[in-house]
Amino acid sequence: MPHGKPRDPHKEQHWQRLIERWQGSGLSVRSFCERHHLAVPSFYAWRRTLQQRDRLACAPQAPDPVAFLPVHVQHCGLDAGPSLEVVLSNGRCIRIPPGFDPTALRALLAALEDPTC
């Protein structure tokens, strides 16, 4: 349920135009408000409100959620001992032979996780 009064787009546009005119005027806020018969607190309140709305409108979007793909580990009937086979979602297959260097395996997995690959 919304709090307070509903937004009045005409009023927002009016204050947006006034703030833009003030920015181009070279006047202080007080002088500008006196010249245009505006209440200084109202000017500051509207300027803050419109700045906050602009920031929200320009805020970065949340990143896409991470998708996990199923991995099936199969024993490849080689005589040299058990090995691993990784089948990627694009159909590519990586066979990891027995005795594979763990450091190299970590580097390979890091490279596969790189989104530019």
**20-74 tens-digit pLDDT:** 999 999 999 999 999 999 999 999 999 998 888 877 766 666 666 767 777 777 6
Domain total for the chain? Answer: 2
Q: Mean of the per-residue pLDDT values for the chain?
A: 79
Nearest-angstrom CA–CA distance, 29 and 40: 7
Whether residue 34 lies inside any domain: the answer is yes
Residue 69: per-residue pLDDT:
73
Residue 90: per-residue pLDDT:
66
Secondary structure of residue 55 in the 3-state scheme: helix
Determine the structural domain holding residue 114 and report its residue range: 63-117
pTM: 0.45
Map 58-92 to HEC letters. Answer: HCCCCCCCCCCCCCCCCCCCCCCCCCEEEECCCCC
1 — pLDDT class (breaks 50, 70, 90): very low
Tokens standing for residue 23: 């920015």
Instruction: Mark whether 80 and 117 lie in a shared domain.
Output: yes
Instruction: Mark whether 88 and 106 lie in a shared domain.
Output: yes
Q: Is 83 left (phi over 0), alpha (psi -120 to 50) or beta?
A: beta
